[in-house]
Structure 1
């Protein structure tokens, strides 16, 4: 698509991003490429089409992220920085995503409400109608109910239709940039799917990604916490028997020849590490699919065999 735009707009298009260049409209592709097109070269219809096909970049972005930590996150996620943001004490990160049906009249008040609901998260706008939240102190198994309550409050306060999505629990390391890129693309697919729930988790929406955009499904899409957990022989066996017995803890403990309390300890350990409550059907389905896909890609290397 970008090559076609180059041929069409020729010298009016550049891939050298310059936030100080206010004579161009700037956009970002799904794979992170940025480009700008001279404002005088675009008709209103062409601009509207580009805004739907790509993510508009606000030329005021650098000035908007006035706090040091927001600026560092912006550099890390969107530019070529390989330096982690200097977030003291952060080991785990979860991204939350939101889509509005229409732009807000008062986005600043919306941000304040989000910050109050989460407790000092970082919020970034990707366009006038959607963005994401970085939770640097995420709960292990954040419930849909909690996020749903916040969404309901925002809907009633701002009179706007909102859909929210809960991402995976990820390690705070250099791989987070790639994880974020994959997850953003998956969330877009899930959002444009048939699911009309107010809040959807990445785990619930994953089967839709598998069907609609199988090219996105790669081992790098999964949280390292999940991959590490199911690479442990004992944990992998426990999960497989648990799933085979329809999430029945008593029957699973019997089949594994262990006490029910021992089984509960293993399940709690998995939930705490990955943030995935496998006692629910949708989450168990996601983990089952992840195990199958990792085995197929020869990524699942069981240790301690």
Structure 2
């Protein structure tokens, strides 16, 4: 009987397989406990006839089952579940987020995320953190879509969250360790004031937060902290605008010569020549670390 059904419906029928979109199918079981899925574009009379031949399954929540599989795989390394995942998905990107949602808001949140991309899978890891699984093969310039998602979350839920999107990982036996590593980095070093974080931003945040661990920066850090606010802002604006004096001055509504004089004064007082790449890195990390401590 199964062979005849498969021959009749061909690609519209799956037997003991999990298709990409299982909710697009009617599901049945035969006497041998084989799972039969038929695409929902059949007529009502056909569906009634199939229900007479097989036992119809109505109450399977495939989305929930898929989410549980992924949580078991990613959190607990149950690699035997890899066989249950979609064979066509070879790569995966994690998009981490912070939340304070109750059960009802979680449903609304998932609906919002699915409205951007139906293939996204939303997992709530615990009461504070979640992750979106992104299987889409992407190019370099996909930051705009993630900014739209983050803005929609903030506007629809009145909640300031930020997204950290990782690089793509191969879906294999190491996917759990990659996930746990990225999750730990996000929890520890996420920048709450940045809408979208990529790997380089997370690395920068790590360096900013740990610069205090090196005692050699203590003296110069104290010098910078004792400077007038406008001197620090000039240097920060200069560095964040790629060492461009004109753009930096315009950013602060300052005359270019005034801007340059303040820059020179910073160099003189701190001993850090921020026109040179290595000194610029040190100055920027210390300035951002001071800002972070002041905000806290």
TM-score of the pair, normalised by structure 1: 0.44
Larger gyration radius, structure 1 or structure 2: 2
Q: Decide which structure has greater helix share.
A: 2
Higher RCO structure, 1 or 2 (CA under 8 Å, sep 6+): 1
TM-score of the pair, normalised by structure 2: 0.45
